[in-house]
Amino acid sequence: MDNVNIGGTFVTRLDAPLVLASGQALPNRIAKAAMEEFLAVDGQLPGHELAGLYRRWARGGAGLMITGHAMVDRRALADPSDVVLEEGTPLEAFRQWARAAQSGDGRVWLQVNHPGRVMTTDMPGAVRSASDVAVDVGRYSRLFPRPEPMTSEQIEETVQRFATTARMAESAGFDGVQIHAAHGYLISQFLSPLTNLRRDRWGGGLENRARLLLDIVAAVRAEVGERFAVGVKLNTADFQRGGFGADDASRVVAMLSEFPVDLVELSGGSLESLATHGHPADGSTLAREAYFLDAAEKIITDASVPIMLTGGIRRRSVAERVLAQGTSVVGMATALAVDPSLPRRWLHGEDAAAEVEPLRWRDKGLAAAAGQAALRCRLARLSREKASSGRTPPILALAGERLHRRAALRRYRRWLVDRRPPAPAG
């Protein structure tokens, strides 16, 4: 049976399979959501550590694994340790990554992304966005330059880059891609009226602000096979006053259902509004688990495309409550860094939970950065097949990540120079 009676309500079972519009079948309703791994090696390629990390997660039993983002343009990275997949990228390392992630029973999708304005001042290359609205993170704003508004030609080129990356992901053996349209990255910047001030066909009303996302979905779908899955990650809301809200998200989901899209993951927040860490800028109170369930309720009810909900889920009872609200897939990220075996334990009937202790520092931005650094230390240990119980103090993790970033930035700069086309003769 695909349903179970919980408190008099029939709920989709966590172990129930799900057949998507593409015909691809997920063996259960648990997904590993994307996390930034910061594990790219020379050439911005996935290395043995990334393969090892996903091999470990594959044993955990999730029906779907979505990778951390791969960037579609070598000139635009959110971090110098990001993976890049574009025309001309050698695919063997990606094939090894995909095979490692598929070593269990689940499917693996490559998340594809462009940072837009979320590039720090020390990164090479021009910083571009929908409009020239700079990142506002208080005293840390100086770390982010004011972006240049993208021209129509640059927008069209970016659309094609997403499609090319998806085609190459399919060639490398991934089962699908997830287009990242959340968390304040480029597509999210076009969707939000706070960061998209354009007066052309890419700005104004929501239909125009959603054009970049819809054009990318259409271009990707045209480049890949029918059985290759195409998903989208979308904010339930930016959690900023006057920004992209739940009503906007509901309308965008309706637009996406016409393509069709296989799965829409709902999350929330951005660099300016740390909703994924429980600190929304609009002052709303989020639950410590299933952060976005209340905000997503109407979106889920109105959606005609399967919905995946992510954000703070780490207990089986909460996962079952999320499914009871009408979602099709439960997504977890941090919980699977704490206990990569959690899906299989739930599927076997255990009431296991991942204990995640938030940092209570006064500086919420610094606390979020330190918490993420500690999380990535845990991922690095998992990638080396070490026990997941080790813990690096957040302040030491943050210091270590700063050193790692400096080395990665030097390596990335050298690689960019090597990749430049030769100057014309004469």
Answer for the pair 414, 80: CB distance below 8 angstroms, yes or no. Answer: no
Domain of residue 274, CATH code: 3.20.20.70
Alpha-carbon span 142 to 160, nearest angstrom? 32
Q: Is the peptide bond before 260 cis (omega within 30 degrees of 0)?
A: yes
Alpha-carbon span 93 to 262, nearest angstrom? 26
| H/E segment holding residue 92 | helix 92-101
* pLDDT at residue 360 in the model: 77
* pLDDT at residue 324 in the model: 94
Band of the pLDDT at 422, cuts 50, 70, 90?
low
* Residue 298 domain flag: yes
Q: What token pair was written down for 371?
A: 């918490």
Alpha-carbon span 375 to 133, nearest angstrom? 30
| H/E segment holding residue 220 | helix 211-223
* Residue 333 domain flag: yes
Residue-wise pLDDT for 346-376, tens only, equals 999 999 999 877 777 888 778 888 888 888 8
Residue 4 in this model has a pLDDT that exceeds 70:
no
Residue-wise pLDDT for 279-315, tens only, equals 444 444 344 566 688 888 889 999 999 999 998 899 9
* Residue 385 domain flag: no
Residue 202 in this model has a pLDDT that exceeds 90:
yes
For residue 19, the enclosing domain spans 3-364
Q: What token pair was written down for 78?
A: 């959110």
* Residue 144 domain flag: yes
| H/E segment holding residue 29 | none
Band of the pLDDT at 393, cuts 50, 70, 90?
confident
Contacts of 420 (CB under 8 A, 6+ apart): none
* Residue 38 domain flag: yes
pLDDT, average across residues 262-284:
68
- H-type alpha helices, 210-304: 211-223, 246-256, 293-302
Residue-wise pLDDT for 87-127, tens only, equals 999 999 999 999 999 999 999 999 999 999 999 999 998 99
Three-state SS at 370: helix
pTM exceeding 0.85? yes
Answer for the pair 292, 268: CB distance below 8 angstroms, yes or no. Answer: yes
DSSP state of 66: E
* pLDDT at residue 244 in the model: 93
* pLDDT at residue 279 in the model: 45
| H/E segment holding residue 6 | strand 3-6
Answer for the pair 362, 63: CB distance below 8 angstroms, yes or no. Answer: no
Residue-wise pLDDT for 35-48, tens only, equals 999 999 999 999 99
* Residue 375 domain flag: no
* Residue 238 domain flag: yes
* Residue 386 domain flag: no
Count up the domains in the chain and report the number: 1
Identify the residue with better confidence: 420 or 341.
Answer: 341
**Lookup result for tokens 């015909």:** 23
**Lookup result for tokens 């900023």:** 240
Answer for the pair 313, 335: CB distance below 8 angstroms, yes or no. Answer: yes
